[in-house]
Amino acid sequence: MAGLDPSIGLSALRAAQRGLEVVGHNLANATTPGYSRQVVDLRAARPEERLGAGQVGTGVDVVAVRRAVDGLLDGRLRAADAEAGLASASSGRLSELEQLVGRTDEGGLGPLLSRFLAGASGLAARPDDAAARATFVTDLGSLTRGLRSTFGSLEAARVDAGAAVADTVGRLNGLVEQVAALDRGIVDAKTSGQRPNDLLDQREVLLRDLSRVAGVQATERADGGMRLTLGGVTLLAAGGKTIPLAAGADGAGQATVVEAGSGRAVEVTTGELAGLRQAQARAAASRDGVDALARGLISELDRLSATGVARGGPPGTIASTLPARDLNRTGDPTDDPLAAAGLPIPPGGPTTLVVGVTDLATGVRTTTQLSFDPRTGSLRDLAAALDGVTGLTATAGPDGLLRVAADPGRGVDFADPASDAGGVLGALGVAPLLVGRGAADIAVAPAVLADPSAIAAGLGPGAGDGRNAARLAALDRAPLAALGGRTAVDFAAGLVADAGEAARQADGLALAADGAVAGLEARRQSTSGVSVEEEVADLMRFERSFQAASRYLRVLDGLADDLLGIVQ
C-alpha cells in the first residue's frame, strides 16, 4: 500500500469541510452590515521524500481563513465618512436657519419691515388720520414681535446645536469604550495564533462610526489593538486605557470639546462634531445679525423720534427715560462720558443738537445749535449746555436722567433734519418710539402704544405735518452707521442671503460627500461584500471536493480489504 496514504484524503476532507463552513458563514452574513467576506487559503502540504520515488505529495493544508479586505480602501472610506458626517450634521441645521431668517410669509423679517415702511409712508401722507397712526403702531409692533421671535428661534437653534455637541461627545466616548472592549478579544485571539475575523469586522464598523462622528484617527498596534487619537489627544492607548472627552463652552457660548480630566481643548475639524459646531456658529452669527438689525432700528427710529414733534406740538418739558450709570465708580452717574455710561445702545460720535424754543402764544420759534461729543461729554455737561439756552432750564439728576423744562408759555423741541446725527437723545430715551437693548426685548414704547398721537410724525406743530414720518419711511434708502453703512432693508436682505448661501454650500458639500461614500462603498462591496452567486458556486466546488475525498478514502479502504484477503 506504499503511496496510498489515507491522510491525503483526510486532509482533503478537512479542507473541504472548512471551505463549506466558511461558505455557510458568508451566506449567513450576506446582509450583515460591515461584514467582510471570508476566504479559505489552501496550499499543498509538505511532500515526503521516498526512496526511489522522490518527493511525494501528502495532501492539502488549510493555511488560514482571512478577510477579503483592502486596508487602503477602508482608510479612504473612513476619511469620506468624516466629511459626510460634517456635511450631514451642518446641512439640515443650516437649512433650518435659512428658513428662520428668510421666511417669506407675513412673519418674515423682510415682509414685516416692508409693511412697517409702508405704514410709515401712510402716516407721512395722513399724519392727522387716527387710523394711519393706529396702523403705524400695529405694523411697528408686528416688526418688533418678528424680531423677538426670530432672535429667540435662532438662539434656541444655537443652544440645541450645543446640546447636540454634548450628546455626540458622549456617543464618541461610548464608541471608544466599545473599541477597547473588542480590542481585548482581538489581542487575546492574535496572541494565541487565531484570526479574529468577525471581531475585526465589528471593530471596523465602530472605527467608521468614530470617523463619522469626529474624524478619529486609528492606528493598529503591533499586538493587534488600536490607538485612537483626535486632534493630537489620545483616546485609546496601549493596554486598552481610554481617555474620555467632555463638552464645554468658550466665552462666546460656542461649544468646545475638551479632555475630561485636564480640560485641554481638542481640535475637531471634521465629522459630525465639527458640523454641529459650524451650525452653532452660523446660528450665533444669524442671531447676532438679527440683534444688530434690531439695535440699528432702535437707535435710528429713536433718534428720529427724538428730533421730531408729536401731534400736540412742542411740549413744555422733555425728560430722558434711560438713566446714565456710574461706571467710573465716582458715586455720580452724571459725570461719566455718555458713550461709556452704560446706556443700552450708546450714542455715536460727535453730534449737533438743534434746540428749538417756541413761544406758544405767538408760534415764534428760535433755534440754537449745540455741539456735543458723547465720547468726552457727560450727562452733566449736556445739561449745562442746554441750561444755557435762553428760555430753558436743564438738569442732570442723581438718578442719571436728563430733564429739560421750557419757561412758562414756551415749548421745547429738537426738531430738525440736521439735529443729533450722533443719536445722543435717542440713546438717552428722549420721546422713544422703541424700547429695549436689542432683538431679545425690542418693543414699541409704552407711551406710543397708549396714545398713538404721541408719535413724533412732524418737524413742527400742526396735525398735518408728516415730515418726520417721511424720514421714518425713508429707512429703505438711509444708510445707517450702526448697520455698517447699509440700509435696514439691505441689511435684512443680507442676513437672508448669508443664511441661504451657507445652506446651499452645506447642501452641495453633503451631496458630494454622500456621493464619495457611495462610490467607495461600491468598491468595498466588490472587494469585501458577499456575492450569493459566487458563494453558491464555491459551495458546489467544496461539495464535490468533499465527495471526491470521501470516495478516495472508500477506494483506499476497499483496496486494503482486497490486500488483506490476498495475504490471508
Helix or strand or coil: residue 496? Answer: helix
Tens-place pLDDT, residues 41-66: 999 998 888 777 678 888 999 999 99
Look at residues 430, 453, 472 and tell me which one is the last residue of a structural domain.
Answer: 430
C-alpha cell belonging to residue 302: 429713536
Residue ranges of alpha helices (H) inside 336-440 are 379-387, 424-428
In a domain, 262, yes or no: yes
Q: Closest Cα to residue 304, out of 468, 175, 454, 192?
A: 468
In a domain, 169, yes or no: yes
For residues 279 and 201, membership in a common domain is answered with: yes
For residues 281 and 329, membership in a common domain is answered with: no
- Mean pLDDT (whole number) for 252-265: 91
C-alpha cell belonging to residue 196: 479574529
For residues 348 and 247, membership in a common domain is answered with: no
Look at residues 403, 430, 457 and tell me which one is the last residue of a structural domain.
Answer: 430
Cα-Cα-Cα-Cα dihedral sign, residues 209, 212, 214, 216: positive
Contact 431, 310 (CB under 8 A): yes
Bridge partners of 256? 248
For residues 175 and 281, membership in a common domain is answered with: yes
- Mean pLDDT (whole number) for 126-141: 96
Contact 33, 208 (CB under 8 A): no
In a domain, 415, yes or no: yes
Contact 352, 370 (CB under 8 A): yes
Query: What pairing do the DSSP bridges indicate for beta strands 60-67 and 434-435?
Result: unpaired
- Output the DSSP codes for 102-137: S--STTSHHHHHHHHHHHHHHHHH-TT-HHHHHHHH
Q: Give the number of domains in the chain.
A: 3
Measured distance CA(370)–CA(358) in Å, rounded: 17
Whether the predicted pLDDT of 1 surpasses 60: no
C-alpha cell belonging to residue 492: 435684512
**Full-model pTM:** 0.88
Look at residues 411, 430, 449 and tell me which one is the last residue of a structural domain.
Answer: 430
In a domain, 95, yes or no: no
User: What pLDDT was estimated at residue 173?
Assistant: 97
Measured distance CA(415)–CA(305) in Å, rounded: 9
Residue 85, Cα to own-chain centre: how many angstroms? 13
Eight-state DSSP code of residue 319:
E
User: What pLDDT was estimated at residue 556?
Assistant: 86
For residues 329 and 261, membership in a common domain is answered with: no
In a domain, 236, yes or no: yes
Cα-Cα-Cα-Cα dihedral sign, residues 196, 200, 203, 205: negative
Tens-place pLDDT, residues 525-562: 999 999 999 999 999 999 999 999 999 889 888 887 77
Average pLDDT over all residues of the chain: 93
Which letter, b or e, does each residue of 270-280 get, where b requires 16 or more Cβ atoms within 10 Å of its Cβ? Answer: bbbbbbbbbbb
Domain interval for residue 369: 311-430
Residue type at position 554: R
Helix H or strand E encompassing 309? none
For residues 196 and 276, membership in a common domain is answered with: yes
φ, ψ dihedrals at 41, nearest 5°: -95, 120
- Mean pLDDT (whole number) for 160-172: 96
Per the rule left: phi > 0, alpha: psi between -120 and 50, beta: everything else, 3 is left
For residues 324 and 216, membership in a common domain is answered with: no
C-alpha cell belonging to residue 178: 466599545
